[in-house]
Amino acid sequence: MATRKISSRLPRLRITRHLHHVEVRPVRAELADGEVPVTAPRGTGASGDDREGGMDFMRAMKVLFSANRRRLAFTAALTVFAMLTFTGDAFASVPGESGYWTTETAQGSQVYSQGPVREAYQTNGTHLDVWRGQSNNTFWVSYGNSTIFTLGSASTQTAPTVVAFGSGGFAVFYVGTDGTVYWNINLINSQIANPNYWSGWRPAGHDIVTNPNQSVDVVQLGASTTNLYMIWRGSGDDLAVFGSYFGGDFDSSWEAPVSLGGSTYNAPAITFNPQTSVIWAAATGTDGNLWLNTQDLGSGVWDGWQPVHGGPVFSTAPAIAAPTLSTAGPEATQMMVVADVSLGETGGSDIFYNVIDPYGNAGGWVEDPTGWQTTSNVTLDANQNGTIYAQLNGENGGDDWWQQIYQPGSGS
């Protein structure tokens, strides 16, 4: 068996998921119902993110395609990968990957949760983290990795999600115990940590429901906008993927759901690439492949699912993220990352990544070089400078970790 690269910063750790019957670890302050959750330092301001570093990144070949040629290139690239044999090179890594996992902390203590933490960044560098309670179904929030609070009596059986909303606010989402999707917003950046300034929970409407144990994913359709797109798997035995557009007015409901088709046992994922103004959806198919679907912003038409071949058999909800830069830069600064998890040889599950350019050309699947494993899904989120981070949930009572996966414009 090949020896995997192990981080010198942290000991080797096999990560598995424990969602039930875990104890809450004490931290500095106790919240209202006795749970004490926590999250991780990021730094502040446009350039103060302490996760960023000088990571090498290959320079993307400049590709000049129209929207139609982009789709053709996407299909052609994925067809090529269908002919490849996966080698599982344990020494490979995604360009820009830091090569070590760091504890997710807030208020000086590590986060413990059920399922991975999700986070969102505003253009000014402020950010919000959300997670499900370590030993209950409470929805917890942390602003700037310091203030920890709850938003009413929200209760969920799966990990919540968060997106930037407008030029200074955030929108948070959770799936209720009946599968109904609820959301809550705050547009006042100086009052994000004050629960009294949040709008209050309301259903997304139009019978937007999924399974109670599966998350939804939401993306902001451009920096500083209040336009969003939500994606989820059907409820009950419905394995199709569904989506809904929100046009920016909180007093209006989300648009009626549209079917993206496909077939998945897990929650799908979504991102927006500002380089080409294209929405990207990702899903782990019932065949174990990761599949991608695209929609040109404003068209309302999904182009159809295409598989990203060449990887192992995947078994969890995927993740996808694009740099959230407000202005389009060179293709190298607008690469996307997808992540998925496959059943490993030793009982855990191995983490794999793939880098995809704005036109759908995939770079090939590589295994996380640290050798860490998880039976949870991995999530991906991008900060205001375009750096993409992976988040996972660990074995020590639901401990949370993060790793830099991609930094735009670094290396050659």
Q: Which is nearest to 152 in space by CA: 167, 174, 135?
A: 174
Q: For 97-128, how does the pLDDT look when each residue is reduced to its tens digit (9 = 90+)?
A: 899 999 998 887 898 999 999 999 999 999 99
**26 in any annotated domain:** no
**256 in any annotated domain:** yes
Band (pLDDT 50/70/90 cuts) for residue 6 is very low
| The pLDDT of residue 320 is above 60 | yes
Distance CA 360, CA 70 (A): 7
- Given a contact cutoff of 8 angstroms between Cβ atoms, the answer to whether 360 and 73 are in contact is yes
Distance CA 140, CA 401 (A): 17
Range of the domain at 220: 67-406
Q: For 269-301, how does the pLDDT look when each residue is reduced to its tens digit (9 = 90+)?
A: 999 998 899 999 999 999 999 999 999 999 999
Q: Are strands 366-367 and 290-296 parallel, antiparallel or unpaired?
A: unpaired
Distance CA 42, CA 45 (A): 10
**29 in any annotated domain:** no
Q: Which is nearest to 79 in space by CA: 88, 89, 71?
A: 71
**397 in any annotated domain:** yes
Q: Tokens 């370590």 label which residue?
A: 134
Distance CA 233, CA 249 (A): 25
**236 in any annotated domain:** yes
**Residues in a beta bridge with 392:** 401
Of 102-106, 318-322, 398-402, the range with the highest mean pLDDT is 318-322
Q: Which is nearest to 113 in space by CA: 20, 193, 26?
A: 20
Q: What is the CATH number of the domain that holds 107?
A: 2.120.10.70
**367 in any annotated domain:** yes
CB atoms within 10 A of CB 118: 24
Band (pLDDT 50/70/90 cuts) for residue 334 is confident
Domain count, the chain: 1
Q: For 248-272, how does the pLDDT look when each residue is reduced to its tens digit (9 = 90+)?
A: 988 788 999 999 999 999 999 999 9
DSSP state of 399: B
- Given a contact cutoff of 8 angstroms between Cβ atoms, the answer to whether 275 and 358 are in contact is yes
Report the chain's mean pLDDT, rounded to a whole number: 78
Q: Which residue has the higher pLDDT, 329 or 390?
A: 390
